[in-house]
Amino acid sequence: MWKAHAKRLRGRQETWKLVIHDGSDIAKPWAEKLEGLSTVHDGSTGELVTGYTFCLSVGCGKQLWDIHPIKATLLNPKDEEFESQNTSFHQHITDILSAEIGLDCLHVFDRGFDGEEWFSFLDGQEIAWMIRLKEKRNVLFHGEVHLLTSVAETILSERPLVDGDCTYARCDIGITIGKEVRTYGFIAVRREKFQKPLLLLVNWRVKDLWEAMKLYRNYLDRWEVEDTIRFLKQSLKTEQMQLRSFDRLKYFLNLQVLLVDFLLREYDIGVRPIGAPLREVLLRSIQQDTRILSPYLLADHIGDDLLRHQHDRDLDLVPRESTQLSLLPSMDVS
């Protein structure tokens, strides 16, 4: 399924501008026997509970909701081959790039990926990347070592570009990785409603402030991956699925990623293939009708539309025994 999905992604990635990566958690507070449970943060309650960590990657185009879920990797700390969370995330990204997906896109990461190990790994992949930085870091600026926050304040006061309520500044900085000092592009953005500036690092020299502005606006699209995660959890009820093993949960998560991709695909005007009614449901939700995204209603739409499609093709109907089964299309292996 991954090979087939990757082939479909390669066929439409020319319209992408970004590939966005982020980590999240699946809370399983009542699970006891599932393999590899660890302590995670439950985003809905703010509490620490048992569950799993996963990494999700999505392609992002220029149009509204032009989102292309690529791959999800669920981490099992009890697996014999598990080394660390970073190593697992590295392999996740390597798999995507090895499938020739996102090679010409800008890869965007949040603050959880701020670290020399990540800088070195991504440099080795020979891709363009951008990471939001944390504040506590020493960097080389004009031949001397300074706090990153001090560099940001300096460039924002000396040579900024003001556009609306945002002030942009950029410069080159050096970061020591191993025994080598590498030069990166640094962007600081001061926003009126926030006390501290936003700090971005890219693996090339930013040529001017207009490019800095464009990169900041690209970074804002990073929320697309969080919206996808929220859709998985709230509308497709990933955390509520009752499965008895880590492998089943892992495979089901990837099936849901495929389902989200199925739901979000754009269709030509006037063409109504299977799934078109579901996309209309999602488009109506953009117009503030949040009731449309009820998980139960969405599951019914999915199941009914797939069953209707089976009936239209004179296939035998498969009884829906549960909401979980209604999420999955029947496989035609003939």
- Written as tens digits, the pLDDT of the chain (334 aa) is 888 889 989 998 998 999 999 988 887 767 667 776 777 776 666 677 777 888 999 999 887 678 899 999 988 888 888 888 889 999 999 999 999 999 999 999 999 899 999 999 999 999 999 999 998 899 999 999 999 999 999 999 988 899 889 999 999 999 999 889 999 999 999 998 888 999 999 999 999 999 999 999 999 988 888 888 887 777 777 777 777 778 888 888 888 888 788 777 644 434 454 455 555 655 555 555 544 444 445 555 555 655 565 555 444 444 434 333 344 444 343 3
The pLDDT assigned to 58 comes to 94
The pLDDT assigned to 267 comes to 43
Question: What string of H, E and C letters represents the secondary structure of 268-284?
Answer: CCCCCCCCHHHHHHHHH
Q: Tell me, rounded to whole angstroms, the distance of Cα 16 from its chain centroid.
A: 14
Both tokens assigned to 119: 């800088």
Give yes or no for a contact between 115 and 89, defined as CB atoms under 8 angstroms apart: no
The pLDDT assigned to 311 comes to 56
Q: Which residues are within 8 A (CB) of 52 and not within 5 positions of it... i.e. 6 or more apart?
A: 25, 26, 28, 36, 37, 38, 40, 74, 75, 76, 246, 249
Q: Which residues are within 8 A (CB) of 98 and not within 5 positions of it... i.e. 6 or more apart?
A: none
**3 state SS of 143:** coil
**3 state SS of 229:** helix
Each domain of the chain, given as residue ranges in start order, spans 132-213, 227-326
H or E stretch covering 217: helix 209-220
Q: Please name which of 324, 323, 312 lies closest in space to residue 332, comparing C-alpha atoms.
A: 312
C-alpha distances in Å from residue 30, one per residue of 36, 217, 233: 14, 40, 16
